[in-house]
Amino acid sequence: MLNNNYEVNIASDFQTFEFISEGTKGNITKVVRYTEIDIKGVFNLGFGDKNLETGYISDLIISDNGDSQKVLSTVAATLQVFMNHYPEAIVIATGSTEARTRLYQMGIAKSFETIQRDYLVLGLKENNWEPFQKNMTYEAFLVKKNNI
C-alpha cells in the first residue's frame, strides 16, 4: 500500500498536501490536512475532495473514482512526510462515516507489518485506546513514531 502513490504538492509547513486522483470519473483534487487540535502536538488528519471553485474541502463526497487503494496509499505517504517533519507529533484519524473508518482500518491492516516498524498505531474501541489489532473494529486511530 505504501508504494503506489500519486504525485503530491506539499505546503511549506508540511501540514497540507494536495494531489489529483485520476480515475473513471476524471481528475479529482484531493487534500490531506494535518490540523493541531487543542492538545499541543496532537494533530487531526483531515482528508477530502477539494471544490476548485470555492476551495472548500469535503470529507463527505463519495468520489468512486476507481482508485481508492492508490488514494489511500497517497494519504499514507503524506503521513510519512508529515511525521518526518514533525517527529514528536501524534496524529488522530477517523473516517467521516463508519464505512470510511472501516476502509482506513483495512488499509492499515493490509500494510500493518510495514507500518509497525516505524509507527505505533492504536485503535479507539469503547472510549479506550488499545494497540491496533487486525480483525477488530475501531472508531478512530492514533499514530506516532516509534521511539527506537
Residues 63-79: tens digit of each pLDDT: 889 898 899 899 999 99
Q: Is residue 71 part of a domain?
A: yes
Q: pLDDT category, 54, cuts 50, 70, 90?
A: confident
pLDDT tens per residue across span 105-126: 988 998 888 889 999 999 999 9
Three-state DSSP at 8 gives strand
pLDDT of residue 1: 47
Whole-angstrom CA distances from 129 to 50, 92, 122 are 31, 11, 6
Q: State the Cα–Cα distance between residues 56 and 40, nearest whole angstrom.
A: 26
Judge whether residue 34 has pLDDT over 60.
yes
Burial of 32 (0-12, 13-18, 19+ CB in 10 A): buried
Q: State the Cα–Cα distance between residues 34 and 91, nearest whole angstrom.
A: 8
Residue 130's identity, in one-letter code, is: E
16 against 106, higher pLDDT: 16
Q: Is residue 59 part of a domain?
A: yes
Is the Cβ–Cβ distance between 73 and 2 less than 8 Å?
Answer: yes
Q: Is residue 3 part of a domain?
A: no
pTM attached to this predicted model: 0.91
Look-up of cell digits 512526510: 81
Q: Is residue 1 part of a domain?
A: no
Q: Is residue 38 part of a domain?
A: yes
Beta bridge mates, 16: 33
Q: Is residue 14 part of a domain?
A: yes
Residue-range definition of the domain harbouring residue 101:
8-145
Q: Quote the number of domains for the chain.
A: 1
Q: Is residue 20 part of a domain?
A: yes
Q: State the Cα–Cα distance between residues 58 and 106, nearest whole angstrom.
A: 22
Q: Is residue 2 part of a domain?
A: no
Q: What is the domain-level CATH number for residue 89?
A: 3.40.630
Mean pLDDT of the residues in the chain: 91
